[in-house]
Amino acid sequence: MYYSDILSDNLILREWLNGSLFPLSGNLAIIIGLFLQTAWVDAKRVGIRFQNVDGVPTACALFWIFAAESVRAASVWYLLRTTNDGKVVSDLMRALSNLSLTVVAGILIITMLRCTALFEPPRFKGFWIYSAISTLLFLIASHLFPQIG
């Protein structure tokens, strides 16, 4: 295989990128999970609410993003790897992949809206609502005007 083949056939490049994102995202979710476990223990020890520990709301949102991203990347990597090896993806694996991609997309949507609410400055309170509405409008417009895509 030549490097020019990799650039012209982006399925291989996409396989490698998703293959890289799978362990990186998973490891990041694990390390954030360990932070959350430590915060939980510390909160119990000093008698404060877990949600009031500095960094916990953000860490919870980031945990879900990276855990979902890891599942998404693994699913896409598997499909690309199988295709690039010249094999046919079984109906069961295609169904499991479709299910996992649907579930993690829902998790990512909800978590990104949560991150928007967490990070919005006070003067932009409610910006997450704008984000949700603009996303919904984009989806509606893309279906009403398919010629745009």
CA quadruple 22, 23, 29, 32: dihedral sign: negative
DSSP state of 121: -
* Average pLDDT over all residues of the chain: 93
Query: Kindly report the CA angle at 108 between 89 and 44, in degrees rounded to 5?
Result: 120
pLDDT band per the 50, 70, 90 thresholds, residue 12: confident
Cα separation, 49 vs 78, whole angstroms: 41
User: What does the pLDDT look like over 99-124, one tens digit per residue?
Assistant: 999 999 999 999 999 999 999 999 99
Mean of pLDDT values over 21-40: 97
Mean of pLDDT values over 55-63: 96
pLDDT at 148: 76
pLDDT at 6: 60
pLDDT band per the 50, 70, 90 thresholds, residue 97: very high
User: What does the pLDDT look like over 17-30, one tens digit per residue?
Assistant: 999 999 999 999 99
pTM of the model: 0.84
Query: Kindly report the CA angle at 141 between 121 and 111, in degrees rounded to 5?
Result: 40
